[in-house]
Amino acid sequence: MLTRPFGQTGLASTLLGFGGFHLLEIDLETSTRLLNTYLDSGGNYIETAANYGNGESERKIGQAISHRRQEYMLVSKIADRDRDGFLRTLDRSLENLQTDHLDVVLMHGVATRAELDQILGPGGAIEGFLTAREAGKADHVGLSMHGRPDVLIEALKQYPFEAVMTTINYYDRFNFPAIEDELLPLAAEKGCAVILMKPLADGLLWQSAPEAFQYAFSRPVSVVVTGINTDAMLRDDLTFANDYVPPTDEALEQLYHDAPELGNYVCRQCGLCLPCPEQINLPLIFLMEGHYDRQMRDGIIRNASDFALRDRLRFWFGNDRQAREDYAALTVKADRCTDCGLCNERCPYGIDVMRKLKIADYKLAGRSIY
């Protein structure tokens, strides 16, 4: 399997990383088989978190593959924001994982600037990491967060984090374009490794897995981490990684145009519907809709399972309240629309822009649609 440099750490990670969250859903025997098969197949990146099942995922990894510890990079995430809590949790993780050190430890799910301030401030978790590094318990430090990348961007500006873990897939690229447009270039400039999570958009892209993995592997990231809990899934994911061929720019454009999950509802942020005679900034409003619920609900029920999946995923990233605040601060909103129809004629993706605007307004401002 291909490897890539893991930022400037001197480590090299394989293209496909094994995410440990879904080990919670399977027994130890199956976990042991999957983890060992992954290593046997050339994979070298194992990731988990202290709070996955209150240490259950870590314990399974420890029991399954700690005897092969020198064959893989081991990464875990810790959610404590203070020095002492971080050190206590790290010791428990090392015990669970049956090892004496982590290659990388990530500050888990850093959602707000207040959390970042606490981590970096006096008595914060970074002090815990520095103490742990001194003691040989953790070599490198990074942080993780899904959805809006604002805090990750701020973090990379403030501290020399060595790795950043973020959501990247061909669906959410249109909900959170700042991840690829701002966070990734900043990470490259700082020599910070990028760990890609959610290549299937939390399962939304399950019917398009080959395309989704090819897209994920084509990003400027060190490793693509995916949860694995069946033999078939592991086999498929290994095949995607081993057979990876970079897509052409034309193939990517085609994907953005034709992907069924994007369909004729998700705004591709091309801006071609502008200018609106009423100065309504349509792509910006649809970006806010992306932050609000990932543009998952379009008012059409195709089938019960699709509806249920989207309903479960739409607020997963918790950016909805901020999106409503951002919309409230806009001077020109959807109610200025005169239904002139120009935007509908211009959208190259066949989106019924006027209808979508009403739905976005309904979501963001709580107005009625009809």
Q: Contact residues for ligand SF4 (CB under 6 A)?
A: 267-273, 276-278, 280, 282-283, 286, 337-343, 346-347, 349, 351, 353-354, 357
For the chain, give me the number of helices (H) and strands (E)?
Answer: 16, 10
C-alpha to C-alpha distance for 57 and 25, rounded to whole angstroms: 10
Read off the tokens for 42: 């050339």
Helix (H, G, I), strand (E, B), or coil: what is residue 229? coil
- Measured over the CA atoms of residue 243, residue 246, residue 248 and residue 252, the dihedral's sign is positive
Q: Is 71 or 278 the residue whose CB approaches ligand SF4 more closely?
A: 278
Listed in sequence order, the residues at least 6 apart from 277 whose beta carbon sits closer than 8 Å to its beta carbon are 338, 340, 342
DSSP-derived letter for residue 260 is T
C-alpha to C-alpha distance for 23 and 350, rounded to whole angstroms: 41
C-alpha to C-alpha distance for 299 and 319, rounded to whole angstroms: 20
Q: Is 141 or 282 the residue whose CB approaches ligand SF4 more closely?
A: 282
Q: Is 187 or 351 the residue whose CB approaches ligand SF4 more closely?
A: 351
**Residue 296 beta carbon to ligand SF4: minimum distance, rounded to whole angstroms:** 16
**Residue 172 beta carbon to ligand SF4: minimum distance, rounded to whole angstroms:** 15
**Residue 370 beta carbon to ligand SF4: minimum distance, rounded to whole angstroms:** 16
**Residue 353 beta carbon to ligand SF4: minimum distance, rounded to whole angstroms:** 5
Q: Is 196 or 353 the residue whose CB approaches ligand SF4 more closely?
A: 353
Q: How far from 34 is each of 19, 39, 199, 235, CA to CA, in Å? A: 11, 9, 19, 10
C-alpha to C-alpha distance for 179 and 315, rounded to whole angstroms: 18
**Residue 174 beta carbon to ligand SF4: minimum distance, rounded to whole angstroms:** 8
C-alpha 93: how far from chain center: 23
C-alpha to C-alpha distance for 201 and 72, rounded to whole angstroms: 26
**Residue 312 beta carbon to ligand SF4: minimum distance, rounded to whole angstroms:** 25
Q: Is 242 or 264 the residue whose CB approaches ligand SF4 more closely?
A: 264
Q: Is 230 or 264 the residue whose CB approaches ligand SF4 more closely?
A: 264
Q: Is 48 or 169 the residue whose CB approaches ligand SF4 more closely?
A: 169
**Residue 361 beta carbon to ligand SF4: minimum distance, rounded to whole angstroms:** 11
**Residue 274 beta carbon to ligand SF4: minimum distance, rounded to whole angstroms:** 7
**Neighbour-count burial for 60-88, b at 16+ CB within 10 Å, e otherwise:** bbbbbbeeeeeebbbbbbbbbbbbeebbe
Read off the tokens for 215: 């897209």
